[in-house]
C-alpha cells in the first residue's frame, strides 16, 4: 500500500497554492465522500482542526485561517448572489408582504 501524506505535507500544498493564487482565492472543504484514502490525521472531519493548527504554527494569522476555512467562500457566494440576474433564494410570502407597495 502506498504511503499516506501527512498533515504537514497537506499544509505544504496549501502554502504553495497560496503563493500561486493568493490567500483571497483558496479555501478548504470537509467533504470526504468518495475518497478511499486520506492523509494521516485527516482521515475524517474530526481531524479537520489539525490543518489550521499546522498552518498557525507556520505563522498564519487568525484572519488568514478564517479566510481559508470559510470567509473566502462566503464572500464569493455573496458576490455571486449580488451579480445573479435573479435571486438565488426565493422571497418568502412574509418578505413580500413587508415590501413597500
**Span 66-98, pLDDT tens digits:** 999 999 999 999 998 888 877 666 767 667 777
Q: pTM higher than 0.85 for the full model?
A: no
**Distance of alpha carbon 52 from alpha carbon 1, whole angstroms:** 28
Residue 1 pLDDT grade (very low, low, confident, very high; cuts 50, 70, 90): low
Rounded to an integer, what distance in angstroms lies between the CA atom of residue 11 and that of residue 64? 13
pLDDT attached to residue 66: 97
Say what the pLDDT of residue 75 is. Answer: 95
Domain boundaries, the chain: 7-98
Q: Under a CB-based contact definition with an 8 Å cutoff, are residues 14 and 53 in contact?
A: no
Write out pLDDT tens, residues 33-52.
777 888 999 988 899 999 99
Amino acid at each position: 500500500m502506498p504511503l499516506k501524506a501527512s498533515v504537514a505535507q497537506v499544509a505544504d500544498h496549501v502554502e504553495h497554492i497560496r503563493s500561486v493564487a493568493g490567500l483571497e482565492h483558496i479555501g478548504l472543504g470537509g467533504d470526504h465522500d468518495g475518497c478511499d484514502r486520506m492523509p494521516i490525521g485527516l482521515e475524517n472531519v474530526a481531524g479537520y482542526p489539525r490543518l489550521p493548527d499546522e498552518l498557525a504554527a507556520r505563522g498564519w494569522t487568525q484572519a488568514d485561517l478564517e479566510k481559508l476555512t470559510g470567509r473566502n467562500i462566503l464572500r464569493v457566494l455573496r458576490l455571486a448572489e449580488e451579480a445573479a440576474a435573479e435571486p438565488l433564494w426565493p422571497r418568502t410570502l412574509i418578505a413580500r408582504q413587508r415590501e413597500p407597495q
